[in-house]
Amino acid sequence: MKKMGLMGAMPEEMEQIVAGMEQAEVQVHGNRKYYTGYLKGVPVVAVFSRWGKVAAATTATTLIELFGVNELVFTGVAGGVSACLSVGDIVVAERLIQHDMDARPLMPRYEVPLTGKQFFATDTALSKRVFDASAGMLRQEAGFLQQLRENGMGRPGLYSGDIASGDQFIGSTLVKEAIRDRLPTVLCVEMEGAAVAQVCHDFGVPLAVVRVISDTADESSHELAIQFVDRYAARYLHLIIEHYITENHT
């Protein structure tokens, strides 16, 4: 059976996942706590990645090299860049790009040196399973959706597309629009996914990235993101993972 790596970009979501694990044991490496155990009988290693591309890359590498995971699902929140996205929507990544990578004039903007690539694709089959699990969660978790409605949020949308990562929290309309103009296929921004995609590409490990929109990457994003993370994000992502495990492994 495959050993699944579960990386979360927030401590709160990992706490919920670890609370539901059987035979959970913790090991500390490189300043991270790796929880090994089982979710509904599926062997998993769960870890909070910390924030930013370097933290995410070292965590992903440890999951692969030290813990031997052979598929990786990365969860977290993101700022919406595309005008079609609202807070609470879910985005499953098709490809990831580092919006702050720029080695011009040596190579084209966004190209990761010596790879010839600007975009790193996620695994199509794994991403489809995570997309379907997210759809299942939106269909079946009536209580959670009711709670969102009572707090003034609409019915969440589910999208699949490109995500941009960079070592920058985007909290300015001008910066957001510059990213949108230069990278028109990008749906949302966060700070880790593209780094994990590069690591998984180098090691040949299938990856899926799923993000819930916590803010709109503009002047309101700081407050919005904190509020969303406090109230909903952990439950949201935990439900998606639960559905993923139930629909695929039981």
Binding site for ligand ADE (CB under 6 A): 77-79, 169-171, 189-191, 214-215, 217, 221, 225
Nearer to ligand ADE, 85 or 112 (CB): 85
Planar angle of CA 154, 188, 48, nearest 5 degrees: 95
| Strands, E assignment, 127-242 | 158-165, 186-190, 207-215
Residue 120's nearest CA partner among 65, 196, 46 is 196
Planar angle of CA 153, 155, 156, nearest 5 degrees: 95
Nearer to ligand ADE, 4 or 183 (CB): 183
What is the residue whose two structure tokens read 């079946």?
140
State which residue has the least CB distance to ligand ADE. Answer: 79
Q: Are 93 and 206 in contact (CB under 8 A)?
A: no
Nearer to ligand ADE, 53 or 238 (CB): 53
**In the bound complex, what is the minimum distance in angstroms from residue 27's beta carbon to ligand ADE?**
28
**Token duo for residue 144:** 């959670």
Nearer to ligand ADE, 159 or 169 (CB): 169
- Of these residues, 13, 71, 111, 192, which one is catalytic? 13
**In the bound complex, what is the minimum distance in angstroms from residue 65's beta carbon to ligand ADE?**
27
DSSP character string of 51-68: SSHHHHHHHHHHHHHTT-
Q: Is 215 tagged catalytic?
A: yes
Q: How far apart are CA 229 and CA 23, in angstroms?
A: 28
**In the bound complex, what is the minimum distance in angstroms from residue 77's beta carbon to ligand ADE?**
5
- Of these residues, 89, 94, 111, 215, which one is catalytic? 215
**In the bound complex, what is the minimum distance in angstroms from residue 90's beta carbon to ligand ADE?**
13
**Token duo for residue 2:** 């495959």
Q: Is 181 tagged catalytic?
A: no
Q: Are 162 and 187 in contact (CB under 8 A)?
A: yes
Residues that are catalytic: 13, 215
